[in-house]
Structure 1
């Protein structure tokens, strides 16, 4: 008889992670939408625990390591929206897709390494199978509010 898998909500606590307050829509969109057994999120920015936003252009104002941390913060914001929308992270079966936008200079080419900040978080929380989905890591010259990173995601629900 196999052991019951650990609750995603409990695993979050075990990892010592706390979620920021779920972001509130400030324009004409929903932070997340459930259609059938899929939950899709809007773009989430790297908000720190004190409510400040991680800003700047990778390769110009800051470095890859800081970008990795910003992507992780975006992932925590996505998880906060999921918990708020679904009531529990335990309703998530698996990650389907991550789209990661990295505000970067023309000569910065480590967008995938930055995106790993979120990807590694989701693997730690959901596991090596369910935490890995498809992914795009895209460099851009500008993001809303000068955010370093913006991430949107899609999840399959149980």
Structure 2
């Protein structure tokens, strides 16, 4: 029996997000589920960036949602243009305490209260190239399968022996 497991006991908890970011995320996730969109939080991208939420529609279209919980959070983190090469649409998501006029007018905007979320501004669509879409789909599928396995093993400790 190994003394050290390569799998976290809480594989679905990343631990880097604030309570407020998790609140925004929960509302956005509920919105996406209502639109029949699959969601994968904290997905590493080929560029080395990590997207807050990557959403995959039934049509195979990718949306990235970048969560910002304060004016300072938005101002210090200017990596969001890098996400455009990995998605068909980009949204910012925030909560009602953040002024919406700080967000770029040429990207989508979602406001979440933790229980629900509303799209205030649609995101413009920029179609991914076929090779990038395939790479994103494979990355999404593999990461989803890996996380499901880790969650199964964490829920049943006898699976890791």
TM band (smaller chain): under 0.3
- What TM-score, normalized to structure 2? 0.27
TM-score (norm 1): 0.27
- Rg comparison, structure with higher value: 2
Greater fraction of residues in helix = 2
Which structure has more relative contact order (CA 8 Å, sep 6+)? It is 1
